[in-house]
Copies of this chain bind each other. A is one copy, B any other.
């Protein structure tokens, strides 16, 4: 684990496809104003240069609001912009290597869809777990499904924060929160909405 504490309660993961013509920076700013506590920048189909330039721009916004910015998968981008941390999936950087290269002052989150993956990630020093997909999702089609019961078992088996991910929205959020997890990760429930500020506020209100 790192030395960094963070509020994982309303964790936004970006997906520019959801935004149609809207600007990512402006959308993130509205989401933060609505109550998002942490932002993960996720880009899968851009050049390194484009990812870097986008990350620099987004970090100016998250820094302004004192919100941690986590980079998905790309440790080089996280290092280059001095991001708050890195999120790694099971096909990304191995946790131990990521910690070795990032040091103890960066947050490292790991995706887990089984109890075994969750326990291993915790043992290797992950700061938090992204567990899902708890509901089916159009964003990450490769994510295995995790039932709310399994989510609860994982939460009770680890000591690090657990963030639920996958298809979470204003309608099913209470069910997810009932498992006792530390936060929810959302994409479309904020970024696909016409009123991003209001969508984030509504989720924030349910979490309170």
Asked if A101 lies at the interface with its beta carbon under 8 angstroms from chain B, I say yes
Across the interface, do B93 and A76 meet the contact criterion of CB distance under 8 Å? yes
Across the interface, do A91 and B47 meet the contact criterion of CB distance under 8 Å? yes
Query: Do most interface residues of chain A lie in helix, strand or loop, or is the interface mixed?
Result: helix
Across the interface, do B93 and A49 meet the contact criterion of CB distance under 8 Å? yes
| B residues less than 8 Å from A52 (CB atoms) | 93-94, 97
What is the count of identical protomers in the complex?
A: 2
Asked if A74 lies at the interface with its beta carbon under 8 angstroms from chain B, I say yes
Across the interface, do B73 and A97 meet the contact criterion of CB distance under 8 Å? no
| B residues less than 8 Å from A97 (CB atoms) | 52, 80
Across the interface, do A76 and B101 meet the contact criterion of CB distance under 8 Å? yes
Asked if A79 lies at the interface with its beta carbon under 8 angstroms from chain B, I say yes
What are some 15 contacts across the A-B interface (CB < 8 A)? A47-B92, A48-B73, A48-B74, A48-B91, A48-B92, A49-B92, A52-B93, A75-B79, A76-B76, A76-B93, A76-B101, A79-B79, A79-B101, A80-B97, A80-B101
Instruction: List the 9 shortest-distance A-B pairs measured between CB atoms, nearest first.
Output: A76-B76, A75-B76, A47-B91, A48-B92, A49-B91, A80-B97, A79-B101, A48-B93, A48-B73
